[in-house]
Amino acid sequence: MAGDMGYTAGVLALFYKVAIATALLRLLSLWVSGR
């Protein structure tokens, strides 16, 4: 069970990082296109 919890936490952390990176890239592209 402990290993499963660690795996779930890792997946959530990875998803969180991807979501942040996607949001930052989207903001950057909007800023570049709107400049």
Give 1-35 pLDDT, tens digit per residue.
667 888 899 999 999 999 999 999 999 999 999 98
Give the pLDDT of residue 1.
60
Q: Using CA atoms, how far apart are residues 34 and 2, in angstroms rounded to an integer?
A: 48
Report pLDDT for 2: 66
Q: Is 1 helix (H, G, I), strand (E, B) or coil?
A: coil
- Which residue bears the tokens 């890792």? 10
Amino acid 29: pLDDT: 96
Query: Would you give the distance in Å from CA 29 to the centre of its chain?
Result: 17
Q: What's the N-to-C CA distance of the chain in angstroms?
A: 51
